Amino acid sequence: MTTPTPTIANPGAFFIVDAAVAAQQAAVIRTAMTAITRHGGTLLVLNMQSRNISSVNKMLPEPVALTNRRAASLVKGWPSNVTAPLSLASLYFAQDKNPWIIAHGLTGPFVAHAQVLLHACPTNWLAWTRKPEFLKPATVYESQRQTKTAGAALVRSDLGKGRLFLATLRLSLNDPRKRSLLRALLVNLRVADHARRNEATRLHAPSDGPRPLK
Give pLDDT, residue 125.
63
Give pLDDT, residue 201.
42
Residue 4 lies in a domain: no
Domain that holds residue 152: 14-199
CA 151 to chain centroid, in Å, comes to 12
Query: What's the mean per-residue pLDDT of the chain?
Result: 80
CATH of the domain at 185: 3.40.50
Picking from 21-25, 116-120, 168-172, 179-183, which range would have the lowest pLDDT averaged per residue? Answer: 21-25
Q: What is the C-alpha separation between 31 and 6, in angstroms, rounded?
A: 7
Distances (CA, A) of 83 to 49, 51, 78: 22, 28, 9
Structural domain tally of the chain? 1
Q: Is the pLDDT of residue 205 over 50?
A: no
Intra-chain end-to-end CA distance of the chain, in Å: 66
pLDDT digits (tens, 9 = 90+) for 120-151: 998 776 665 665 565 556 555 565 666 567 89
Closest CA to 80 of 179, 180, 156, 152: 156
Closest CA to 178 of 115, 118, 102: 102
Give pLDDT, residue 142.
61
Distances (CA, A) of 7 to 41, 50, 52, 96, 160: 14, 29, 24, 42, 19
pLDDT digits (tens, 9 = 90+) for 59-112: 898 999 999 999 999 999 999 999 999 999 999 998 898 999 999 999 999 999
Q: What is the C-alpha separation between 123 and 127, in angstroms, rounded?
A: 9
Give pLDDT, residue 83.
95
